[in-house]
Amino acid sequence: MEHIKRVGRELMYKGSMLEFYKDTIVTPDGKTVYWDHIEHKGAAAVVAVRDDGRIIMVRQFRNSPDKETLEIPAGGINKGEPVKTAAIRELEEETGYKADPDNVRKLISIITAVAFCNEKVDIYVADKLTKSVQQLDEEEYINVEYYTLQELKDMIISLFNVLEVNGIRSFREFKRLKLNQILGIINEINDIDDDTKKLYSETIRDLIWINNKK
């Protein structure tokens, strides 16, 4: 692909969350064109799993699509705040559930609108949660709901937000990888006799098969 060069970036509007720029671009054939760019500080999201296996979701009105959406807890990163800390903070603020940092693992990073915005969202999975209280902003109105992974998979076609699709799919893959890791550990243990090792391995393979079918 021939080279495209950005030769200028002019701030057109600065909001509380976003900055809008007009970029001056030189195309490979020498033409000057203007592209929009939205600068974003980044965000963090959490697939939060309760002890009963259900996933915590939040329902709220979103102005841009002019509708209520069902989402995983997510929000912006404060200046100087580690992304993982932001994920834990947003989970507690939006849902009233608290996660210990040791029980929060990275799933995936995504860029939500690559054509015109640099927003990157890091998605985590959290379990072993403790009940706390919601700490909503004055303009926030959020309902907390709980769904099984299967229920969310059945709904995934109608989910509006790209975070949910990527987060839920990544959580399923996370579960599959964990089972495969356990299988590898069992096969490396020398103190287990072959019959017991075979029984354990077959059980884990059955769980992997069930997880893939869900």
DSSP state of 78: P
Quote the CA–CA distance of 32 and 6 in Å, as a whole number.
10
Q: State the burial class of residue 197 (Cβ atoms within 10 Å of its Cβ: 0-12, 13-18, 19+).
A: middle
Tell me how far the alpha carbon of residue 179 is from its chain's centroid. 21
The answer to whether 86 and 78 are in contact (CB under 8 A) is yes
Q: Please, what is the end-to-end C-alpha distance for the chain in angstroms?
A: 41
Alpha helices in 39-161, H assignment, sequence order: 83-95, 149-155
- The answer to whether residue 19 is catalytic is no
Q: Which of 93, 119, 138, 188 is catalytic?
A: 138
CA dist 194 → 181, 184, 186, 187 (Å): 19, 14, 11, 9
**Count of CB atoms situated within 10 Å of the CB of 212:** 11
Quote the CA–CA distance of 83 and 71 in Å, as a whole number.
19
Q: What residues are labeled active site?
A: 138
